[in-house]
Amino acid sequence: MTRGARDDSSVAQAAAPPGRPGGGPHGSPPAPVVTTDGLPDWLDPVAEAVRTVRPTQLSRFLPPEDGRGRQSAVLILFGEGARGPELLLMERAGSLRSHPGQPSFPGGALDPEDGDPHTTGPLRAALREAEEETGLDPAGVQLFGVLPRLYIPVSEFVVTPVVGWWREPSPVGVVDPAETARVFTVPVADLTDPAHRATAVHPSGHLGPAFTVHDALVWGFTAGVIDRMLHFAGWERPWDRSRRVPLDWRA
């Protein structure tokens, strides 16, 4: 089995079955449910990609085998907007020590009350952080999958991407300006538009996918996950990989 695959399948398997949310340890909130029941048809290829993708197909940066790294989770939330499928993103405050000013998925480090980082902890953390950062109502989110854990070397975060459908959208916006600069949704049509795609060039020489949407440059971990999701869901359109966008030395 590919490194990391066993751990990540256990996260989804540990979630309570539909209709039977179980209580967490030491009085923690009930375990979120992970289910594909009732998803709209357009999400079927995403659900299949989440179910079958392997860690090495998502990134070359995988969690250290010695267990180092701070456990964290992000919420990859698909909704249905005026222009069809869309993703919820936020821009981190420029004053933050980790990834300042960078567009990202809502998310953050696991807290002790989130529970076991190898089972339902990332599910709770992804929803909790999304609520804290964007104000969304977790009750309107249906979690339908968990991607393999990945690693961000520069910040030493071990990240579990939790994938959800915004079944009942709620108002979102900046909750704490010290953490979040803005909250916005991006149509998938914009993310797949070749005119909005580029290759980001880090001063270190590292190359990675990027998206120019909503007056923002989405790059790094977030762009890498979006790029792979579009590819494995069959939504990717041919784009000019020679188009380069240089990153600031502070990136």
* Confidence label for 16 from pLDDT (cuts 50, 70 and 90): very low
Q: Please state, in angstroms and rounded to a whole number, the distance separating the CA atoms of residues 157 and 135.
A: 23
The predicted-structure confidence for 67-79, as pLDDT tens digits, reads as follows: 899 999 999 999 9
Tokens of 105: 């998925």
The predicted-structure confidence for 203-221, as pLDDT tens digits, reads as follows: 988 899 999 998 899 999 9
Higher pLDDT, 28 or 222: 222
Rounded to 5 degrees, what are φ and ψ at 124? -65, -45
Containing 85, the helix (H) or strand (E) segment is strand 84-92
